[in-house]
A and B are shown apart, each in its own frame.
Chain A
Amino acid sequence: MNAELKTTSTIESEPTSTLTTLPMWLVVLMLLLLFWGAMSFDRRGGWFEPKVYGPYVSVPDLERFQPRDRGGPNLPRGKVVFEMTCALCHNSDGMGKPGQFPPLAGSEWVNAPGANRVLRIPLVGLSGPIKIKGQEWNLAMPAMGAALSDDDLAAALSYIRQAWGNKAPPVTAEKVKAIRAELGNRAQPMSADELLRLPEEMK
């Protein structure tokens, strides 16, 4: 080939970009989508729980479908009743409040193998001096459990007797019913002395 090779005389110019600002609708769209995304994740995301798979939404949701031990205590129900009725004073962690409400965690009254004594406290109340975990208390507890059904009170007591390190056998609704029957229409709260005179386990 004899054609002369042409060299590129000018350096080829490269593209440039303008400085037009970002249209607002794109940013608004992004924010709207982020909002939608947050709602969607809240509804479906299970909040990062490793045990939650769709269609379940949370661990409590899963627990609603776990099989129940029909003969045993209804601990989930007991926890709910405890939180509603007892935790206001005795606290969710069972530690009570120094000087005001005695602890349930580690209490020898709660952990006694027989529930005859401890069941009477919520049913009619307690007043006067009582020794709990080596400490003297002298307060009055109203009959917080009087309005609860046998099932609910049994569940709550069963929950208390196995929570926070307590290790005591659960309480049945029949036992609650029997003690209620024995107490009858009694309006006066029990005292610690009176409780200690009762047998630990009802015959």
Chain B
Amino acid sequence: MKSGALIFLAAFLALAGSWGGFVLAPQIQLGFNVQTNVVGTGELYPQARPGLAKQGLEVYRANGCVYCHSQQVGQDGTLCEIVLTDAGTNATATLAAIAKLDSELAKLDGVILLARLPKAILTVADMNAAEYALKALEAAGAKAETHLAAIGPDIARGWGRRRTVAQDYLFDYPVQLGSRRIGPDLANVGLRLPDANWQLRHLYAPQSEVQGSTMPSYRFLFETRKAGAKPSPDALQLPAVFAPAFGCEIVPKPEAKVLVAYLLSLRADAPLFEAPLTPLAGAAAATNAPSVSTNAPAK
């Protein structure tokens, strides 16, 4: 090539292309998102994180938790299960309806099939097929419902109930999705480990809660001080190996408390249009409020 101008043009076009694709287009598609409704309810999602959790996000950022922990859950597929809740008065008709839906099930013992309800008896392709199955079962007098479940290794590990989507990170700054899993994924840690005291003990001495953990201890988030006549309500209850010297107690500093508040606010399980899911029956509302923590001794 002869001139700097041509090189400049080439570089400009190439970079403009990817700028349009990965800077401009995401901004157009996602940059103006607002809260949406949780599918099936009028609830807004996501709720803004409460103030303590927002401060905790700053502590998370400042200490670089993102270099070991990711905050995104993946999904390989979605299952649509038919859950039989009531066999109805006419067991034969119910069994006949089930047999028509899935001939394999006809070979099973009817008594066992209809025992211990509610249970998932059938997996169908999608909600249209589920609608058909439900109608057939209801015609036979039984009662059933559909249950959507996500499948994938992350889901199987209990790291989430569905994949994370853009809506889950709407109000976060900075969004720290993470690119390594040296430690477990934290997208739903508020659901999985909702005990604030566990989180505090784990931060102070990770090896006390998780055997063989390579997570460094965050002792600088805590204060060791002389215990008064009564132990303070915030003092950590640690096993003997990690406990402080006699007469001293470990008390979390405000940084530790807000970090735990942030961790407990991490959840991404609300059913959305782009991530359909059946909410758990009787599940707590999808708020980001931290669970109430007590100083009850470790179980």
Contact = CB atoms under 8 A, between A and B. Distances in A.
Interface in A62-115: 62, 64-68, 70, 74, 76-77
B58 to A, nearest CB: 28
Contact of B39 (A51, A52, A66): A66
A52 B75 contact: no
A67 B77 CA distance: 17
Contacts of A62: 273-274, 276
Nearest to B152: A55
B90 interface: no
Contacts of A51: 273-274
A56 B40 CA distance: 20
B3 interface: no
A67 B134 contact: no
A53 B127 contact: no
A137 to B, nearest CB: 36
A151 to B, nearest CB: 8
A48 B29 CA distance: 9
A23 interface: no
A50 interface: yes
Instruction: Please classify how large the interface on chain A is, using the bins under 10, 10 to 19, 20 to 34, 35 or more.
Output: 10 to 19
A75 B94 CA distance: 28
Contacts, number: 52
Contacts of B126: 64-65
- The majority secondary structure among interface residues of chain A is loop
Contact of B127 (A52, A55, A56, A65): A65
B39 A67 contact: yes
A67 B127 contact: yes
A54 B126 CA distance: 16
A49 to B, nearest CB: 9
B94 to A, nearest CB: 19
A55 B75 contact: yes
A70 B130 CA distance: 11
A35 to B, nearest CB: 20
A75 to B, nearest CB: 12
B47 interface: no
Given A50-B29, A50-B30, A55 B77 contact: yes
A54 B77 CA distance: 8
21 contacts: A48-B25, A50-B29, A51-B273, A51-B274, A52-B274, A54-B75, A55-B78, A56-B274, A62-B273, A64-B125, A64-B128, A65-B148, A65-B276, A66-B39, A66-B276, A67-B127, A67-B271, A68-B131, A70-B131, A70-B134, A77-B128
10 pairs of A and B residues whose beta carbons are closest in the complex: A64-B126, A50-B29, A65-B276, A51-B274, A55-B77, A53-B165, A53-B274, A68-B131, A68-B127, A65-B78
Given A55-B76, A64-B125, 9 more contacts: A50-B166, A53-B274, A55-B77, A56-B78, A65-B127, A65-B276, A66-B273, A70-B134, A76-B128
